[in-house]
C-alpha cells in the first residue's frame, strides 16, 4: 500500500501503472508511469531520436545497396 500523501504528490491513482526496479545500491524503486513522467523521459531522450533515425536510415540504405549486388 502506498500512503495517500505520496499518491497525491506523485499523481498515483487507481489504475496507474508502476514500474518496480532495483537501483545501483540495491534499493527497490517504485516509479509511477504517469503522463508527466513519460513526457519528461521523452524530453530527456529527444536528442537521441533524430540520431537514431539517421543511423537507422543509413544502415537501411547500406543494406539495400548490398542486396542489389
Is 11 in a helix, a strand, or coil? Answer: coil
> For 13-49, what is each residue's pLDDT tens digit?
898 888 899 999 999 998 888 888 777 777 666 666 5
pLDDT band at 63 (very low <50, low <70, confident <90, very high): confident
Location of C-alpha cell 508502476: 18
C-alpha 26/C-alpha 14 separation (Å) is: 28
What pLDDT, on a 0 to 100 scale, did the predictor assign at position 26? 93
What separation in angstroms does the CA of 69 have from each of 13, 37, 52, 57, 66? 57, 47, 27, 19, 6
Q: Please check the confidence at residue 59 and state whether its pLDDT lies above 60.
A: yes
Q: Which pLDDT score is estimated for 36?
A: 80
Amino acid at each position: 500500500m502506498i500512503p495517500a500523501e505520496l499518491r497525491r504528490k506523485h499523481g498515483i491513482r487507481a489504475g496507474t501503472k508502476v514500474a518496480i526496479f532495483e537501483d545501483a545500491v540495491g534499493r527497490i524503486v517504485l516509479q509511477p508511469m504517469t503522463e508527466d513522467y513519460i513526457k519528461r523521459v521523452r524530453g530527456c531522450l529527444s536528442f537521441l531520436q533524430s540520431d537514431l533515425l539517421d543511423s537507422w536510415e543509413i544502415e537501411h540504405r547500406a543494406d539495400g545497396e548490398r542486396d542489389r549486388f
